[in-house]
């Protein structure tokens, strides 16, 4: 129950942050990515502002013996930048630029603009299925 409550709170906080910052608005995201056109820098401030609480979270995590709701931390095992990571980053960036959404905002947009969000989520799921098939 404690784990579920923490996850629900984190999801609600994340969703509220997306809504307030405008990160769930595909047009704002695409305007941010339009560096040589009508560039909208507001999301740069959102991303920069997100670095402060994340830096604090990493500092707190280093001092903790274990997380609050589970027995151990589940942190990435490697810091290597390899071919798969680079290709995945390019595909993610292209999808973000074309659709103006990434997974979190797309799910949030199901409540705001269901048809475009559903198309994005369908494409995202197809990509995940393709990865699962080719990565066997």
pLDDT on residue 125: 92
The rounded distance, in Å, linking the Cα atoms of 67 and 56 is 15
E strands along the chain, which residues?
none
Determine the structural domain holding residue 20 and report its residue range: 2-134
**Please, are residues 64 and 72 in contact by the beta-carbon 8 Å criterion?**
no
pLDDT digits over 67-105, tens only?
Answer: 888 888 888 877 888 888 898 899 888 888 888 888 888
Q: What's the structural domain count of the chain?
A: 1
pLDDT on residue 59: 94
The rounded distance, in Å, linking the Cα atoms of 83 and 121 is 25
**Please, are residues 69 and 2 in contact by the beta-carbon 8 Å criterion?**
yes
pLDDT on residue 69: 84
Stretches in the chain below the pLDDT threshold 50: none
pLDDT on residue 9: 92
**Please, are residues 105 and 15 in contact by the beta-carbon 8 Å criterion?**
no
């Amino acid at each position: 129950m404690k784990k579920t409550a923490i996850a629900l709170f984190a999801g609600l906080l994340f969703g509220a942050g997306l809504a307030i910052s405008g990160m769930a608005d595909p047009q704002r995201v695409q305007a941010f990515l339009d560096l040589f056109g009508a560039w909208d820098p507001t999301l740069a401030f959102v991303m920069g502002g997100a670095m402060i609480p994340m830096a604090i979270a990493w500092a707190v995590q280093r001092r903790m013996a274990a997380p609050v709701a589970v027995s151990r931390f589940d942190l990435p095992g490697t810091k290597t930048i390899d071919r798969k990571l680079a290709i995945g980053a390019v595909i993610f960036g292209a999808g973000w630029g074309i659709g103006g959404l990434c997974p979190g905002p797309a799910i949030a947009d199901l409540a705001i603009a269901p048809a475009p969000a559903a198309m994005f989520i369908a494409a995202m799921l197809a990509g995940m299925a393709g990865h699962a098939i080719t990565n066997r």
